[in-house]
Structure 1
Amino acid sequence: MKDTLTFDQLPDAVTKIQEKLDIIERLLIQRHEQLPEQDEIMPVSKAAIFLDLAVPTVYSKVCRKELPVNKRGKRLYFYRSELTEWIKSGRKKTADEIREEAVKHLATSSKKAKSF
Protein backbone atom coordinates (compact mmCIF):
# COMPACT_ATOMS: atom_id res chain seq x y z
CA MET A 1 0.00 0.00 0.00
CA LYS A 2 1.32 3.44 -0.94
CA ASP A 3 2.02 6.14 1.57
CA THR A 4 -0.47 8.92 1.97
CA LEU A 5 0.50 12.07 0.12
CA THR A 6 1.28 15.19 2.06
CA PHE A 7 0.08 18.62 1.03
CA ASP A 8 3.60 19.49 -0.19
CA GLN A 9 3.66 16.42 -2.46
CA LEU A 10 0.37 17.26 -4.22
CA PRO A 11 1.82 19.47 -6.98
CA ASP A 12 4.27 16.74 -8.03
CA ALA A 13 1.54 14.10 -7.86
CA VAL A 14 -0.81 16.19 -10.00
CA THR A 15 1.98 16.79 -12.54
CA LYS A 16 2.65 13.03 -12.79
CA ILE A 17 -1.06 12.31 -13.20
CA GLN A 18 -1.30 14.94 -15.96
CA GLU A 19 1.72 13.45 -17.78
CA LYS A 20 0.19 9.97 -17.62
CA LEU A 21 -3.14 11.28 -18.89
CA ASP A 22 -1.36 12.97 -21.80
CA ILE A 23 0.34 9.68 -22.68
CA ILE A 24 -2.97 7.80 -22.51
CA GLU A 25 -4.64 10.43 -24.69
CA ARG A 26 -1.89 10.19 -27.33
CA LEU A 27 -2.14 6.39 -27.34
CA LEU A 28 -5.92 6.53 -27.78
CA ILE A 29 -5.60 9.01 -30.64
CA GLN A 30 -2.97 6.84 -32.35
CA ARG A 31 -5.12 3.75 -31.90
CA HIS A 32 -8.14 5.51 -33.34
CA GLU A 33 -6.11 6.67 -36.36
CA GLN A 34 -4.81 3.15 -36.98
CA LEU A 35 -8.22 1.46 -36.86
CA PRO A 36 -9.76 1.07 -40.29
CA GLU A 37 -12.95 3.05 -40.51
CA GLN A 38 -16.11 1.10 -41.06
CA ASP A 39 -17.26 2.08 -44.53
CA GLU A 40 -20.86 3.11 -44.08
CA ILE A 41 -23.37 1.90 -46.64
CA MET A 42 -26.11 4.42 -47.33
CA PRO A 43 -29.44 4.25 -49.11
CA VAL A 44 -30.39 6.97 -51.58
CA SER A 45 -32.04 9.18 -48.96
CA LYS A 46 -29.00 9.20 -46.69
CA ALA A 47 -26.61 9.68 -49.64
CA ALA A 48 -28.69 12.68 -50.74
CA ILE A 49 -28.37 14.21 -47.27
CA PHE A 50 -24.62 13.47 -47.20
CA LEU A 51 -24.14 15.10 -50.62
CA ASP A 52 -26.58 17.92 -49.83
CA LEU A 53 -28.55 17.09 -52.96
CA ALA A 54 -32.22 16.36 -53.59
CA VAL A 55 -33.10 12.68 -53.98
CA PRO A 56 -34.21 13.17 -57.63
CA THR A 57 -30.83 14.80 -58.35
CA VAL A 58 -29.05 11.74 -56.94
CA TYR A 59 -31.15 9.47 -59.16
CA SER A 60 -30.39 11.57 -62.25
CA LYS A 61 -26.64 11.55 -61.48
CA VAL A 62 -26.82 7.76 -61.12
CA CYS A 63 -28.59 7.49 -64.48
CA ARG A 64 -25.89 9.63 -66.11
CA LYS A 65 -23.24 7.45 -64.39
CA GLU A 66 -21.83 10.45 -62.54
CA LEU A 67 -22.05 8.89 -59.07
CA PRO A 68 -20.48 5.63 -57.88
CA VAL A 69 -23.34 3.36 -56.93
CA ASN A 70 -24.08 -0.25 -55.98
CA LYS A 71 -27.32 -1.86 -56.96
CA ARG A 72 -28.96 -4.80 -55.22
CA GLY A 73 -32.28 -5.71 -56.75
CA LYS A 74 -34.19 -2.49 -57.22
CA ARG A 75 -32.32 -0.68 -54.44
CA LEU A 76 -29.36 1.64 -54.77
CA TYR A 77 -26.63 1.81 -52.14
CA PHE A 78 -23.68 4.14 -51.74
CA TYR A 79 -20.44 3.77 -49.81
CA ARG A 80 -19.51 6.86 -47.82
CA SER A 81 -15.85 6.50 -48.87
CA GLU A 82 -16.75 6.37 -52.58
CA LEU A 83 -18.94 9.47 -52.28
CA THR A 84 -16.16 11.25 -50.40
CA GLU A 85 -13.70 10.38 -53.18
CA TRP A 86 -16.23 11.56 -55.77
CA ILE A 87 -16.49 14.90 -53.98
CA LYS A 88 -12.69 15.16 -53.77
CA SER A 89 -12.32 14.42 -57.49
CA GLY A 90 -14.18 17.65 -58.27
CA ARG A 91 -11.62 19.76 -56.44
CA LYS A 92 -10.46 22.79 -58.39
CA LYS A 93 -6.78 23.69 -58.24
CA THR A 94 -5.71 27.01 -56.78
CA ALA A 95 -3.93 29.60 -58.91
CA ASP A 96 -0.68 28.81 -57.06
CA GLU A 97 -1.01 25.09 -57.81
CA ILE A 98 -1.64 25.80 -61.50
CA ARG A 99 1.31 28.20 -61.63
CA GLU A 100 3.57 25.63 -59.95
CA GLU A 101 2.54 22.93 -62.44
CA ALA A 102 3.19 25.31 -65.33
CA VAL A 103 6.66 26.11 -64.05
CA LYS A 104 7.46 22.39 -63.68
CA HIS A 105 6.10 21.66 -67.14
CA LEU A 106 8.12 24.46 -68.72
CA ALA A 107 11.26 23.30 -66.92
CA THR A 108 10.91 19.71 -68.13
CA SER A 109 9.87 20.67 -71.68
CA SER A 110 12.80 23.08 -72.04
CA LYS A 111 15.20 20.29 -70.97
CA LYS A 112 13.68 18.01 -73.61
CA ALA A 113 13.96 20.70 -76.29
CA LYS A 114 17.66 21.29 -75.48
CA SER A 115 18.43 17.58 -75.89
CA PHE A 116 17.35 17.63 -79.58
Structure 2
Amino acid sequence: MEQYSFDQLPRAVSELHKKLDSIQDLLLESRPPIPPAVELLTISQAAEFLNLSVQTLYGKVCHREIPVSKKGKRLYFYKSELEEWIKSGKKKTMTELREKLPSLVSTGKGRRH
Protein backbone atom coordinates (compact mmCIF):
# COMPACT_ATOMS: atom_id res chain seq x y z
CA MET A 1 0.00 0.00 0.00
CA GLU A 2 1.38 3.34 -1.05
CA GLN A 3 1.97 6.01 1.58
CA TYR A 4 0.78 9.55 0.82
CA SER A 5 2.00 12.76 2.32
CA PHE A 6 -0.47 15.30 3.64
CA ASP A 7 0.09 17.45 0.53
CA GLN A 8 -0.69 14.49 -1.77
CA LEU A 9 -4.01 13.59 -0.09
CA PRO A 10 -6.30 15.94 -2.09
CA ARG A 11 -4.99 14.58 -5.38
CA ALA A 12 -5.21 10.96 -4.17
CA VAL A 13 -8.80 11.46 -3.01
CA SER A 14 -9.70 13.04 -6.34
CA GLU A 15 -8.23 10.09 -8.26
CA LEU A 16 -10.01 7.66 -5.96
CA HIS A 17 -13.29 9.47 -6.57
CA LYS A 18 -12.80 9.25 -10.37
CA LYS A 19 -12.08 5.54 -10.15
CA LEU A 20 -15.18 4.93 -8.05
CA ASP A 21 -17.31 6.86 -10.55
CA SER A 22 -15.86 4.75 -13.34
CA ILE A 23 -16.61 1.51 -11.47
CA GLN A 24 -20.15 2.68 -10.75
CA ASP A 25 -20.71 3.50 -14.44
CA LEU A 26 -19.48 0.05 -15.46
CA LEU A 27 -21.75 -1.66 -12.95
CA LEU A 28 -24.78 0.32 -14.06
CA GLU A 29 -24.10 -0.43 -17.73
CA SER A 30 -23.68 -4.16 -17.18
CA ARG A 31 -26.80 -4.56 -15.05
CA PRO A 32 -29.70 -6.04 -17.02
CA PRO A 33 -32.73 -3.76 -17.14
CA ILE A 34 -35.37 -4.54 -14.56
CA PRO A 35 -38.58 -5.58 -16.31
CA PRO A 36 -41.65 -3.65 -15.23
CA ALA A 37 -43.71 -5.49 -12.68
CA VAL A 38 -46.84 -7.08 -14.08
CA GLU A 39 -49.66 -5.78 -11.97
CA LEU A 40 -52.85 -7.83 -11.92
CA LEU A 41 -55.98 -6.15 -10.65
CA THR A 42 -59.21 -7.67 -9.36
CA ILE A 43 -62.54 -6.34 -10.61
CA SER A 44 -62.87 -3.97 -7.66
CA GLN A 45 -59.29 -2.72 -8.03
CA ALA A 46 -59.78 -2.22 -11.77
CA ALA A 47 -63.05 -0.36 -11.16
CA GLU A 48 -61.29 1.92 -8.68
CA PHE A 49 -58.35 2.44 -11.07
CA LEU A 50 -60.72 3.37 -13.92
CA ASN A 51 -63.02 5.36 -11.64
CA LEU A 52 -65.99 3.20 -12.71
CA SER A 53 -68.52 1.25 -10.69
CA VAL A 54 -68.03 -2.51 -10.53
CA GLN A 55 -71.40 -2.92 -12.24
CA THR A 56 -70.32 -0.68 -15.16
CA LEU A 57 -67.09 -2.65 -15.47
CA TYR A 58 -69.01 -5.95 -15.57
CA GLY A 59 -71.09 -4.46 -18.40
CA LYS A 60 -67.97 -3.54 -20.37
CA VAL A 61 -66.60 -7.06 -19.85
CA CYS A 62 -69.90 -8.59 -20.98
CA HIS A 63 -69.88 -6.49 -24.17
CA ARG A 64 -66.16 -7.23 -24.73
CA GLU A 65 -65.32 -3.53 -24.61
CA ILE A 66 -62.37 -3.89 -22.25
CA PRO A 67 -59.37 -6.27 -22.05
CA VAL A 68 -59.88 -8.91 -19.36
CA SER A 69 -58.52 -12.30 -18.33
CA LYS A 70 -60.72 -14.94 -16.76
CA LYS A 71 -59.59 -17.82 -14.58
CA GLY A 72 -62.48 -19.92 -13.36
CA LYS A 73 -65.14 -17.51 -12.15
CA ARG A 74 -62.67 -14.72 -11.40
CA LEU A 75 -61.86 -11.76 -13.63
CA TYR A 76 -58.41 -10.22 -13.71
CA PHE A 77 -57.15 -7.10 -15.41
CA TYR A 78 -53.58 -6.22 -16.35
CA LYS A 79 -52.97 -2.62 -15.35
CA SER A 80 -50.79 -2.06 -18.44
CA GLU A 81 -53.62 -3.30 -20.72
CA LEU A 82 -56.09 -0.97 -19.02
CA GLU A 83 -53.69 1.94 -19.53
CA GLU A 84 -53.40 1.06 -23.24
CA TRP A 85 -57.19 0.74 -23.47
CA ILE A 86 -57.54 4.24 -22.04
CA LYS A 87 -54.93 5.60 -24.47
CA SER A 88 -56.70 3.98 -27.43
CA GLY A 89 -59.72 6.18 -26.80
CA LYS A 90 -57.70 9.40 -26.99
CA LYS A 91 -59.19 12.00 -29.29
CA LYS A 92 -56.77 13.90 -31.50
CA THR A 93 -56.24 17.60 -30.93
CA MET A 94 -56.85 20.09 -33.74
CA THR A 95 -53.07 20.47 -34.11
CA GLU A 96 -52.65 16.69 -34.54
CA LEU A 97 -55.48 16.61 -37.09
CA ARG A 98 -53.96 19.50 -39.07
CA GLU A 99 -50.57 17.77 -39.09
CA LYS A 100 -52.11 14.56 -40.43
CA LEU A 101 -54.28 16.29 -43.06
CA PRO A 102 -51.60 16.57 -45.82
CA SER A 103 -50.90 12.82 -45.69
CA LEU A 104 -54.63 12.00 -45.85
CA VAL A 105 -55.13 14.24 -48.86
CA SER A 106 -52.11 12.83 -50.73
CA THR A 107 -53.16 9.20 -50.17
CA GLY A 108 -56.79 9.85 -50.97
CA LYS A 109 -57.98 8.57 -47.60
CA GLY A 110 -59.69 11.85 -46.85
CA ARG A 111 -62.01 11.57 -49.86
CA ARG A 112 -65.64 10.66 -49.53
CA HIS A 113 -67.46 8.57 -52.11
TM-score scaled by structure 2?
0.70
Amino acid at match of 1:67: I
Correspondence 1:64-103 to 2 at 5 A: 64-103=63-102
Higher helix residue share: 1
Correspondence 1:36-55 to 2 at 5 A: 37-55=36-54
Corresponding position: 1:56 with 2:55: yes
CA separation in 2, counterparts of 1:42 and 1:54? 15
Encode CA deviations 1:54-81: one digit per residue, 9 max, x unaligned.
3222222223322112223322121223
Corresponding position: 1:23 with 2:26: yes
How many angstroms does 1:103 deviate by?
0.9
State which drifts further: 95-104 or 48-57: 48-57
TM-score scaled by structure 1?
0.69
**Which residue pairs with 2:111 in the alignment?**
none
How many angstroms does 1:99 deviate by?
1.0
**Which residue pairs with 1:108 in the alignment?**
107
Q: Secondary structure at the match of 2:33?
A: helix
CA gap of 1:96–1:45, structure 2 versus 1, over 3 A, is: same
How much identity, in percent, do the aligned residues show? 40
**Which residue pairs with 1:3 in the alignment?**
2
How many angstroms does 1:25 deviate by?
2.9
Aligned length: 104
CA gap of 1:18–1:4, structure 2 versus 1, over 3 A, is: farther
CA separation in 2, counterparts of 1:4 and 1:55? 72
